[in-house]
Amino acid sequence: MWIITGIIINYLIGSIPTAYIFGMVLKGIDIRRYGSGNVGATNALRVLGKGVGITVLALDIVKGFLPLLLMGDFFALRSGLNPQITYILLGVSCICGHNWTIFLQFKGGKGIATTLGMLLALAVKIQGLGLVIGLVVLVWLAFFLICRIVSLSSIIAAVSLPLLMILLHQQPIMIIAGTLLCVFTIYRHKSNIQRLIEGKEARIRFK
């Protein structure tokens, strides 16, 4: 029951629709009706502006970071599960909450920022993982600076995650988790992949 409780709590925290809330409070609009229709930081950046977009990005990262950092050991101890398995279950629950939020008829964002938050929390708790996460972030930044396409950068960074885990000799459970997160990310970007193939995916342009 302890791990189930932890999963539910993390799912509900992840379900907080940050971009939707900012859209309603600041401009009185449903962000799902504008831009890409996605409830995430990239669409918030396009629709609500740079400042709001960066704020949404930071809060979505925090959603994945703080719950795992503060509650991971608590639920691991009480559930009796392997701590790393507990961390992964709680983190994925938070990502699922962001992607399929109960507050918006189970329609949410793509989960990249919240996944990053989860990985950063894991890097704090698991020795040697910080280098992997740092390199994944650098991969994302490098491709974003080249192409200015968030979705493509996210997909490439997701693919690099399990590969870097293998190259840097991470534990098997973390390699499996990294592979699942990679597949998860690619699946959530199906529509983006189709637009990339058609050459219609939007680029981020900064003045």
Are the CB atoms for 56 and 44 separated by under 8 Å? Answer: yes
What does the pLDDT read at residue 206? Answer: 64
pTM: 0.91
Helices and strands in the chain, H and E counts = 10, 0
pLDDT digits (tens, 9 = 90+) for 168-202: 999 999 999 999 999 999 999 999 999 999 988 88
Identify the DSSP state of 23.
Answer: I
Percent of the chain with pLDDT over 70: 99
Mean pLDDT for all residues in the chain: 93
For the beta carbon of residue 146, count every other beta carbon within 10 angstroms: 10
3-state secondary structure of 72: helix
Q: Model confidence at 38, in pLDDT bands (50, 70, 90)? A: confident
Q: Model confidence at 37, in pLDDT bands (50, 70, 90)? A: confident
What does the pLDDT read at residue 117? Answer: 96
pLDDT digits (tens, 9 = 90+) for 6-27: 999 999 999 999 999 999 999 9
161 torsion bin: left (phi>0), alpha (psi -120 to 50), beta (else): alpha
**CA angle 135-136-139, nearest 5°?**
85
Average pLDDT over residues 138-160: 94
Which tokens is 41 given? 């930081």
pLDDT digits (tens, 9 = 90+) for 62-93: 999 999 999 999 999 998 889 999 999 999 99
Closest CA to 90 of 74, 112, 107, 110: 74
Closest CA to 83 of 12, 10, 3: 3
How does DSSP assign 97-112, residue by residue? Answer: HHHT-GGGTT-----H
